[in-house]
Structure formats: structure tokens, C-alpha cells
Amino acid sequence: MVYLQHPNCGCSQRSNLMRAVVQRVSRAKVSVDGEVAGEIGVGLLVLLGVRRTDREADAAYLAEKVSGLRIFEDERGKMNRSVQDAGGSVLAVSQFTLYGDVRHGKRPSFDEAAPPEQARRLYEFFVERLKANGLRCETGRFQEMMRVELVNEGPVTIMLDSAKEF
């Protein structure tokens, strides 16, 4: 694992930064060429971005965080229940565009995104960890043009990363 010096505070931070955008949904599905590849009812849609420096530990951390994320309402209307507590499922979709960098222009650079072989391996590891945590997990199709449909409840959208920056 590589640590970098943060330019603004002098503190150290990990260079690994697997990203996930997590949305609480009443339903979601992903289709490829008009065919449904994965579909869930109540649960979480997770868009997962893998960086070239990411390792299995990053995927394991995010899978654990997603599994236990308490963003479903309890009987008092408080966000206090996990997806498993709510009887929900996960739809996990690989999305390298989470590493689109537009700091130096208007056309995104994807240089920080992991190469396909590495991204696929870590995405599949993430999905397997979710399943090992007892969650039903549907997926999109890796490296395919996908159509993702969802109904975001709340709306509730949470951004996670394995370096705990947000």
C-alpha cells in the first residue's frame, strides 16, 4: 500500500481509492442490448469504480461497508436499518467512469481507472464478498454498454471510498 502526503494538511493518506456510489432504491435494473442482465426490488444500486492502485483489501472494505450501511428507515422513520435488515438486495454495476478526471479540460481522462483485467477481478471479488455477507446480489455485465434504470428512494445517495475520504 502506498501512502501519499496530502498537499493541504501534511497528513498521510492512502493512494488506493476504490469508489462506490450507493443509491437506496425501490427498484433497479440493468439491461444489455434490450435483455435484462440484473434486476432488484428494494435495495441498493452500487456503482463501483476500481482504480489502478486498488487491491482486494479495498474491495473487501467497501463490500463490508455497503453490507452494513444503515440507510433504510426503521419503524420510527430513522435511517437505522441495513439492506439486509430491510430484506433488500444489491445491484452492483462496474463503472470505470467514476474515475473520469476533468480537472485539466472538458474531456474526461480515465488514466486512474484500473485496466479491464484488474477491474473485473476486483469487481467480482466485491460481488462475492457481498454474497458471503448473506446478500442477494445481481450484476450488470462487465465491459458492456448498459442501460441502468432505477427509482431512488428519498432520494438517498451515498458516496464511499476505500480511503475513507468521503
Name the residue with higher pLDDT: 46 or 3. Answer: 46
Quickly count: other Cβ atoms within 10 Å of residue 121's Cβ: 14
* Position 3 confidence tier, pLDDT thresholds 50, 70, 90: very low
Domain map (residue ranges) of the chain:
16-161
- Mean local confidence (pLDDT), 139-166: 93
Q: Which residues contact 27 (CB under 8 A, 6 or more apart)?
A: 39, 40, 41, 42, 150, 151
Superfamily of domain 16-161: D-tyrosyl-tRNA(Tyr) deacylase (3.50.80.10)
Q: Which residue is it, cell 446480489?
A: 137
Indicate if 95 belongs to the active site: yes
* Position 7 confidence tier, pLDDT thresholds 50, 70, 90: very low
Joined grid coordinates for residue 149: 434504470
pLDDT at 109 over 60: yes
Among 23, 72, 95, 139, the one annotated catalytic: 95
Among 97, 110, 142, 143, the one annotated catalytic: 97
As a dihedral over the C-alpha atoms of residue 36, residue 37, residue 42, residue 43, rounded to 10 degrees, the angle is: -160
Indicate if 97 belongs to the active site: yes
Indicate if 96 belongs to the active site: yes
> Using one digit for the tens of pLDDT, what is the confidence trace for 71-98?
999 999 999 999 999 999 999 999 999 9
